[in-house]
Structure 1
Amino acid sequence: MEITYCPTCATSFKVTPDQLRLANGWVRCGRCTCVFEALANLMPPAVLSDTASLAAMLAEFDLSPTPSSSAALTFDSSVVPTARAHRGVWVFVSVMLLSLLMAQAAWMGRHMVFAQVPELRPALLALCESLACEVTWPQELDAVLIENSSFSEAPSGGYMVQLRLKNTERYPVATPALELSLLDLQDQVVLRRVFTPEELGLDDHLLPLREARAVVNFDLEAAASQRITGFRALVFYP
């Protein structure tokens, strides 16, 4: 014999395991008609062991501790499907929302997934091809360091830029473009040139924790070359 109580009006009822099995523990209070789960509202063992407290509690609700109160408690199985249906709907909606959020996060971070999970690259490329989207190496400018750069006259004529880049991440990143600014004595820009990774002779990505070296030659007009006293190099993503 167990004692359960209505969470709405606090009325206590005697129940047996057989009665609880009739509706999988779902009951309807005979006093306030509240539907609740009897198993979730059983009296604690400490309360059940205290006979005096139990008798006082039942007396307060004008119930005798001896007679059965099954007439006051309805075991209506019709409430179970409704409760289960509501719970199922909420679970389904929650799972769908979580799936959508995960899909959105994965889609927004597809470039990072492409770089960090080589096994998924063919699937990502095929998916983007079908959706007319693009997946590329991640553009992580903070991960790319210019370890060395120089500008000088080339032995064969013209001018030469030498560059050494390093990827400090543990996954490939997109190779940036180079902006070269040639400066005069007042540190004013005389000429600015932009070199793409292709013009620098580099791949479209930098390998993890690896260096990449580039050398590019170009010509300058005589008037401009006479004013040049320095240079400034920086990398960027167009």
Structure 2
Amino acid sequence: MLTRCPNCVTTFRVTPEQLKARQGRVRCGQCEQVFNALETLVEEAAPAAVVVTEVAVAAAEPTIESPEIEATPFAPPEPPPTPAAEITGGATLQSPEPGAVEAVAEPGKDSPTVRPATTPEPQTLVDYEPTFEDLLAEEPPRRAWPWVLGVVFALLVLSGQAIHHFRVELALIAPEAKPALAAFCDMAGCDLPLPRKVGLVGIDSSDLHPDPANAAQLLLVATIKNRAPFAQAYPHLELTLTDTADKALLRRVLAPADYLPKAKPVDDGFAASADLALRLTLEVKDLAAVGYRLYVFYP
């Protein structure tokens, strides 16, 4: 199979195996141009048939002409030039017509045969095998850094979301990381609250009775305990006053600022395994309350 380089128009031979190796892409051995050999295939011309043409050269029959004889002064004859063929008897050999093949007929031999010269192949045909070791330069790799940056950015975003969502748990698991988490919250615009495990906060004791100093008031005395081995946020309290049918007459929610002493900061949190005694007075006026319910919860 022949293919032609579109750059330098050099023609060379390739084999089907070479074309299949790189889907038809080859490198020209002359100009190093890479091209698709399948698109520039050249039909290989059939070898020209050698035709033996029998050229019959008719031996020119000599003709004898009777020249007119004129009397001329006698002069010594000049030596004749070397003839291509000896002519005897004053006969002249008639020249063949133009276009006829020149040949000298020899007696007893057949007329010579003339074989046409073989047409030379075009000079641009280079019969060599292209080297396929470095046939094609490897396609340049696609730039991977945009994808790497995208993956890194996505990981950072996901990590930030995970830290934001589990920041309280992370502070419990690794207390030494709390300063770093606080710095993260400063940048992310969030806070780092204390844990709120309501199952680890309980009411050890409570009592509600009229205030001896004021009959229109009730006095609530209670003790709450943080059973967790770590500090927690102070819980909210819900106090419900009921009648004889256990029907709610009054419900009041007490925030930590409502029941904590003023000398105890709320932000310090409920210390680990600590107890807190409460003493609150409630204004009930003419409310006929005979029972109560007290709960702790986190909003």
* TM-score, with length taken from structure 2: 0.46
Residue matched to 2:159: 102
**1:218 aligned to 281, 286, 295, which one?**
281
Q: Is the 2:227–2:274 contact (alpha carbons within 8 Å) kept by the matching residues of 1? A: no
Provide Cα deviations, 1:9-68, integer angstroms capped at 9, x if missing partner.
Answer: xxxxxxxxxxxxxxxxxxxx824479xxxxxxxxxxxxxxxxxxxxxxxxxxxxxxxxxx
Question: Any idea what SS the aligned residue of 1:206 has?
Answer: coil
**2:201 aligned to 107, 121, 144, which one?**
144
**Please, what is the CA RMSD of the aligned residues?**
3.6
Q: How does 1:108-187 map to 2 (within 5 A)?
A: 108-129=165-186, 132-154=189-211, 158-187=217-246
Deviation at 1:101, TM superposition (A): 0.7
Residue identity in the other structure for 1:237: Y
Q: Distance in 2 between matches of 1:104 and 1:89?
A: 22
Deviation at 1:82, TM superposition (A): 0.8
Structure 1 spans left out of the alignment, 5+ residues: 1-28, 35-69
**1:188 aligned to 244, 247, 255, which one?**
247
Q: Is the 2:220–2:282 contact (alpha carbons within 8 Å) kept by the matching residues of 1? A: no
Deviates more, 1:185-194 or 1:126-135: 126-135
Provide Cα deviations, 1:151-208, integer angstroms capped at 9, x if missing partner.
Answer: 2345655433233333344433321110100111011112222221122226442234
Q: Is the 2:171–2:178 contact (alpha carbons within 8 Å) kept by the matching residues of 1? A: yes
Q: Distance in 2 between matches of 1:170 and 1:74?
A: 71
| Structure 2 CA distance for partners of 1:76 and 1:160, relative to 1, 3 Å | farther
Q: Is the 1:164–1:211 contact (alpha carbons within 8 Å) kept by the matching residues of 2? A: no
Residue matched to 1:93: 150
Residue matched to 1:19: none
**2:290 aligned to 209, 215, 229, which one?**
229
Structure with the larger strand share: 1
Q: Distance in 1 between matches of 2:24 and 2:212?
A: 98
Identity, in percent, stands at 27
| Structure 2 CA distance for partners of 1:74 and 1:162, relative to 1, 3 Å | farther
Q: How does 1:28-43 map to 2 (within 5 A)?
A: 30-32=21-23
Q: How many residues align?
A: 171
Residue identity in the other structure for 2:161: Q
Residue matched to 2:67: none
Question: Any idea what SS the aligned residue of 2:244 has?
Answer: coil
Question: Any idea what SS the aligned residue of 2:150 has?
Answer: helix
Deviation at 1:223, TM superposition (A): 1.7
| Structure 2 CA distance for partners of 1:93 and 1:76, relative to 1, 3 Å | farther
Higher Cα radius of gyration:
2
Q: Distance in 2 between matches of 1:223 and 1:98?
A: 63
Residue matched to 1:199: 258
| Structure 2 CA distance for partners of 1:149 and 1:116, relative to 1, 3 Å | farther
Q: Distance in 2 between matches of 1:76 and 1:156?
A: 103
* TM-score, with length taken from structure 1: 0.56
Q: Distance in 2 between matches of 1:92 and 1:187?
A: 65
Structure 2 spans left out of the alignment, 5+ residues: 1-19, 26-129
